[in-house]
Amino acid sequence: MMLPLPVRSLRLRRLACLFFPAAMLSLTTVRAADSVQYPTDFRRWVHVTTGVVIPGVNPQLATEEGIHHVFANPKAVEGYASGDFADGSVIVYELRESAPKNGSMSEGNRRRVDVMIKDSSAYAGTGGWRFERFWGDDQSQDALHDTGTSCFQCHAKAKAHGFIFSQLK
């Protein structure tokens, strides 16, 4: 026997009330691990290196044109010596516009901030690293939606030094 529509609807609503909170809780738990982890005050960390990709010189490097700074938190600094980066290591690659003026090059606006966060158990598929990218000065939206799988394709080439390209000298 088929129940009338209002009774069926009421039963569905009761079921939804029972299961929806549990579904939301599990979704919240999953998303908490993937939450944005913008490193505030990274410019106060150890400055690892600076480089410049001059605009218009190499079309293959067009996305990297500007002034590059690399910063490391204290745990990452320890890893630079051995190539073994401990969980909790964070490395930041900041790309800024280059502003030539009167024969010199100076920093312009921030173009992006790339972040590597070491957590071996959570990101085993990417060498233990989570990768994030933030455009300009936005600190809330990670532009990478794959926790860095796309970044790791290139970083895998630096396996001998903990998947890090930069060197602390």
Domains of the chain: 1-33 (no CATH), 42-161 (3.50.70.20)
What are the strands, taking DSSP E only, across the chain? 46-53, 66-72, 90-101, 104-118, 129-135
Please state, in angstroms and as integers, the Cα–Cα distance from residue 67 to each residue in 14, 49, 72, 109, following that order. Answer: 58, 11, 17, 10
* pTM as predicted: 0.76
27-73 pLDDT, tens digit per residue, is: 222 334 567 789 999 999 999 999 999 888 899 999 999 999 999 99
Residue 21 DSSP symbol: H
Mean pLDDT of the chain: 82
Please state, in angstroms and as integers, the Cα–Cα distance from residue 100 to each residue in 8, 41, 117, following that order. Answer: 71, 27, 33
* CA atoms of 22 and 24, how far apart (whole Å): 5
